[in-house]
Amino acid sequence: KAILKTSLIGTDVRYYSDLESTNNTAREIATRSPEGTVVIAETQRKGRGRMGTEWQSIPGGIWLSLILKPSVPLDNVSKITLVAGIAVTNTLRNAGIDARIKWPNDVLVRGRKICGILTEVSAEVEKVDYVILGIGINANVKLVDFREDIRLNSTSISNEIGKVINRTAFIASLLYELEQQYIMFKTRKFTDIIDEWINLSDTIGKEVKIKTPNKLIEGKAVGITENGAIVVLDRNNERQEIIAGNCRYRN
Ligand code: BTN
């Protein structure tokens, strides 16, 4: 606790050696836990990714979920995911790693994924009850331990800097960045958040191919909206806003 400089995020830390998914455990304890509670596991048996994908959570990684209770309308929640991406990216950059955000919220290094974020919300009548912010970082993961299809698109902190990091210290600085961003999210003008996100972004300016359940949009990524939707100029130079989907770069 000595190195944890936060006053809200991480006030209560629940550590497990193995869980199904830290997001599931966080959800189970959310209503009776204080805001800022963190659930961490060394490994997850059923780690979950966005859009129903599996998240391989092998030893050496940082697999954690944060319980947040912002009193904001439901449509504000995507902002939390954006600022979380900013926080992870800043923490990695402070550790000397050239991290960038790929829309919607993957963190990449040299085009390979190092972190994924899964936000889940419980809300009643448009008002947020709690938000579970799940963050997975390939910290000291050995790439050979990943399934081949995952390995080809992934990297880890230790793989990037050539040595194993102190995960406790890294988590402490991550929680600090998250707290700073979370405080600012409540007070800051949203255009400032967008500007910072775009600065750290890997996607803006690139030719993209975005798959949603009912369509495929190809074009140039030119910005994001208040809701975290990506703005794409398609072949007919028409502006398309996509709120959720799977993004690939065209080459
Ligand atoms: C993605 O990129 O698809 C999101 C991956 C999110 C993984 C983290 S690991 C901690 C938390 N628990 C889960 O089951 N998933 C998130």
pLDDT in tens, 177-214: 999 999 988 888 888 999 999 999 999 999 999 999 89
Share of the chain above pLDDT 90, in %: 86
Q: Please, what is the angle between helix 167-187 and helix 77-94, to 10°?
A: 140
Instruction: Round to whole Å and give the CA distance between 212 and 52.
Output: 13
Instruction: Round to whole Å and give the CA distance between 28 and 221.
Output: 38
Which H or E run includes 44?
A: strand 38-44
Q: Which residues contact 193 (CB under 8 A, 6 or more apart)?
A: 79, 82, 83, 86, 184, 185
Cis peptide before 59 (omega within 30 of 0): no
* CA-to-CA dists, residue 21 to 55, 57, 145, 216, angstroms: 10, 9, 19, 31
Mean pLDDT of the chain: 95
Decide whether any atom of ligand 1 lies within 6 Å of the 43 Cβ: no
**Gap from CA of 154 to ligand 1 centroid (Å):** 14
Topology classification of domain 207-249: SH3 type barrels. (2.30.30)
The stretch 63-83 carries a mean pLDDT of 92
Decide whether any atom of ligand 1 lies within 6 Å of the 219 Cβ: no
Decide whether any atom of ligand 1 lies within 6 Å of the 55 Cβ: yes
**Gap from CA of 52 to ligand 1 centroid (Å):** 10
Top mutation candidate among 25, 135, 155, 167 for ligand 1, by most atoms within 8 Å of CB: 135
The CB density around residue 157, as the number of other CB atoms within 10 Å, is 27
Which residue bears the tokens 């998914």? 21
Per domain, the residue ranges of the chain are 13-200, 207-249
Question: What is the structure's pLDDT at 2?
Answer: 59
Least confident of 6-10, 12-16, 189-193, 217-221: 189-193
**Gap from CA of 191 to ligand 1 centroid (Å):** 27
Q: What is the ipTM, given to two decimal places? A: 0.99
More confident residue, 227 or 174: 174
The tens digit of pLDDT for each residue in 75-86 reads: 888 889 999 999
**Gap from CA of 7 to ligand 1 centroid (Å):** 25
Instruction: Assign domain 13-200 to a CATH class.
Output: alpha beta
Pairing outcome for strands 112-124 and 106-109: antiparallel
